[in-house]
Amino acid sequence: MSGKKQTTGSNAPVQCLTERPAWKALAGHFQTIRDLHLRQLFADDPRRGERLTAEAAGIYLDYSKNRVTDETIRLLVNLAEECSLHEHIAAMFRGERINVTEKRAVLHTALRAPKTERIVVDGIDVVTGVHAVLERMSEFARQVRSGAWRGYTGKRIRNVINIGIGGSDLGPVMVYEALRYYSQRDMTFRFVSNVDGTDFVEATHDLNPEETLFIICSKTFTTLETLTNAHAARAWSLRKLGDDLAVRRHFVAVSTNGEGVSQFGIDTANMFGFWDWVGGRYSMDSAIGLSTMIAIGPENFRAMLAGFHAMDQHFRSAPFTQNLPVLMGMLTVWNSNFFNAQTVAVLPYEQYLKRFPAYLQQLTMESNGKHVTLDGARVAYQTGPVYWGEPGTNGQHSFYQLIHQGTRLIPCDFIGFCQELNPVANHHDLLISNLFAQTEALAFGKTEDEVKAGGVAGWLVPHRIFDGNRPTNTILAERLTPETLGALVALYEHSVFTQGTIWNIDSFDQWGVELGKALAERTSVELESRDEPLLGHDSSTNALIRRYRLLRNKRP
Ligand code: F6P
C-alpha cells in the first residue's frame, strides 16, 4: 500500500498505518524483543506483576504476562496517538457520524449516560429520549414481574420468550445467563434466534400460551429469521387463544421501525424504541435489554448501566498507559500484527459467563472483520482476530493442550471473580487456582532441565516440555454483579473501538453479512418451487439444491 495518503469518509487525509513512524518504530522494536522470554522479563523486574496492571470501574487488568516491555507500551501509545485515538474517542462521545459507510453516529455510550448529561444529535438531545424509554421499560417490567400485566385470558405471565438474532439475541441471552443469580426465579426466560424450527419448537413445547409473553426484538424489523419466528409465535399463541386481540397482551416489540411493527400487528403502544445510532451488537443496554430488565428488575438494570458508564468515563479520560480498554486494544494489535496471532481465546472462570465468548464473537468480529480502510483501500495488514472461548475449567480438558503445546500463538483473556455467588465447599478456590495456574503455566512453561529434574528421561523429554511465553491478560473483579458486568462489556466494546481506530476501519458497519442474505433469498425460492427450477448457480450449488429437493421430498 505504499506511503500514499488515504482519506477517510470524512475526507481527512490519513497516513497508511504501516507507513506511520510509530508503526515503523514498533516493527524495529519487535525485532529486538521477539525472542525475549517472559521468564526473563519477570526475572529482570521483580515488580513486573504489580506494575503492568491497571484498574477501573471495579475491574483489575493484569497484562504483565504479555510479551511487552515498558518500551513496547510507550511505542504502542505513540501509535494510538498518531492514529488520533484521543480525537476519535471524543468524536464518538460527541455523536459525530463516525460510522462513515452508513453515515451514522455511534452513540451506545448515550444509552448509559446519566439523565443530567446532554448529547445533541441533529439538534435533539438523545439522553432525554433514552431515559424516556428506560422509564417505559421499567414500568412495563414492573407490571410483568408483579403480575399486574395479565395475559389475554387473565392469567399471570410466567414465561418470557425473546425472539431476535445477532445483536437482538446474543446480548439478551448472554446477560440473562450472566445475571441469572439476580433474576426472578419464578419466571422462565427463553431465547429463540435460529430460523431452524427446532429452536422455536424446543423453546415453546412445554409452555402455556396463556402465560407466555413474546418480545420481538429487531432493530430493522425486516430480519428473515426473526420475522419467521415471530409469525410462528403468533400462530402458536393464537392456536390456543383464538382471538387476534390476544396479540396485544402477548406480544411486544423492540425496534427502530414502527411501521414494520404495526404491519406485523403489534400495537406501537407496545413497542419500545431505540435509534439508528445504536448498532445491533452494541444494543444490549438499550430496549433490546427488555427481557433482561424483566428478569433482573429495573434497579439491577440501572446498576448495570452505571457499570457501563463508569467504564465509559474511564475510557474517555484515563491516560492511555492506565486505560484498560486502550491497553487491551493495543495489546491485541501488538499480538495480531507483530506476533501474527490469528485468534484470541476468551476464558471466563465463571459459569454464569458461559455465553460471554459467543456474545463477544459478534461484538469483535462483526466490528473488526474488515478488509478495507475507511476510504475503501485494501488494508496491508491483518485486522480483527478470531475470538472464541469456553468457560474454565471445561476448556482445560479439551482445547488448552493446543494453547500450551501447539504450534500457534494464542493470546488468552482469563476472566475471574474473587467472590463466588454460589458457595459450595471449596469449589471457588479450586476454580480460581486453576485460572492462576493456567496463566502461570502459559507464561513460564517447563524447561528441559525441569522436566528431567522431575525424573523424565530419554525420548519422552520433548513431549513433556512446555515452551511457555504464551501471552495472557488476567481480568479480575471482586464479584459478578450487574455493575461489573456492565463495566466488563464496555471494556470489550472500547477495546474493539481502539483496535478499529488503529486499523483505520469502520468498526460499526457489517456489509459482510449482505451477500449470503441475498443469495439465500434467491435459493429459498428455488427450494420451495413446486416445479423443477432452472438453476443458474455454479455446478456445486446446483447439485446440492437438486439433491436436497430430491431427498426432502422423500420425507415420511
Ligand atoms: O445480519 C447481521 C445483523 O444485521 C446484525 O448486525 C444484527 O445484530 C442482526 O443482523 C439482527 O438485526 P435486527 O436487529 O435488525 O433484526
Contact partners, residue 125, CB within 8 Å, separation at least 6: 118, 119
Cβ-based burial of 410 (10 A; exposed 0-12, middle 13-18, buried ≥19): buried
d(CA 41, CA 62): 15
Ligand 1 pocket test: which of 173, 282, 513, 521 has the largest number of ligand atoms within 8 Å of its C-beta?
513
d(CA 354, CA 435): 15
- The answer to whether 105 touches 97, Cβ cutoff 8 Å, is yes
> Which one is catalytic: 205, 397, 463, 554?
397
Q: How far does the centroid of ligand 1 lie from the alpha carbon of residue 537, in Å? A: 27
The three-state secondary structure class of 372 is strand
Active-site annotation holds for 517: yes
- List 253's β-bridge partners, or say none: 216, 271
Ligand 1 pocket test: which of 510, 514, 515 has the largest number of ligand atoms within 8 Å of its C-beta?
510
- The answer to whether 126 touches 275, Cβ cutoff 8 Å, is yes
- Is there an atom of ligand 1 within 6 Å of 228 CB? no
d(CA 172, CA 288): 7
Residues in the chain: 556
> Phi and psi at residue 273, in whole multiples of 5°?
-95, 160
Q: What is the DSSP letter of 532?
A: P
List the one residue out of 413, 396, 496, 336 whose CA is nearest residue 65.
413
Amino acid, res. 279: G
Atom of ligand 1 minimally distant from the CA of 288 = 14
* Three-class DSSP labels, 313-357: HHHHHCCHHHCHHHHHHHHHHHHHHHCCCCEEEEEECCHHHCCHH
Active-site annotation holds for 366: yes
Residue ranges of alpha helices (H) inside 179-282 are: 197-204, 224-241, 247-250, 258-264
Q: How far does the centroid of ligand 1 lie from the alpha carbon of residue 164, in Å? A: 8
> Phi and psi at residue 61, in whole multiples of 5°?
-115, 120
Contact partners, residue 57, CB within 8 Å, separation at least 6: 307, 310, 311, 314, 324, 483, 487, 490, 491
* Three-class DSSP labels, 429-478: HHHHHHHHHHHHHHHHCECHHHHHHCCCCHHHHHHHCECCCCCEEEEEEE
- List 189's β-bridge partners, or say none: 160
Q: How far does the centroid of ligand 1 lie from the alpha carbon of residue 224, in Å? A: 10
Place of cell 495488514: 381
List the one residue out of 387, 389, 341, 348 whose CA is nearest residue 367.
387
Atom of ligand 1 minimally distant from the CA of 514 = 1
> Which one is catalytic: 210, 225, 366, 390?
366
Q: How far does the centroid of ligand 1 lie from the alpha carbon of residue 223, in Å? A: 7
pLDDT tens track, the chain, 556 positions: 333 444 344 455 678 999 999 999 999 999 999 999 999 999 999 999 999 999 999 999 999 999 999 999 999 999 999 999 999 999 999 999 999 999 999 999 999 999 999 999 999 999 999 999 999 999 999 999 999 999 999 999 999 999 999 999 999 999 999 999 999 999 999 999 999 999 999 999 999 999 999 999 999 999 999 999 999 999 999 999 999 999 999 999 999 999 999 999 999 999 999 999 999 999 999 999 999 999 999 999 999 999 999 999 999 999 999 999 999 999 999 999 999 999 999 999 999 999 999 999 999 999 999 999 999 999 999 999 999 999 999 999 999 999 999 999 999 999 999 999 999 999 999 999 999 999 999 999 999 999 999 999 999 999 999 999 999 999 999 999 999 999 999 999 999 999 999 999 999 999 999 999 999 999 999 999 999 999 999 999 999 999 999 999 898 8
Q: How many CB atoms lie within 10 A of CB 198?
A: 8
Cis peptide before 101 (omega within 30 of 0): no
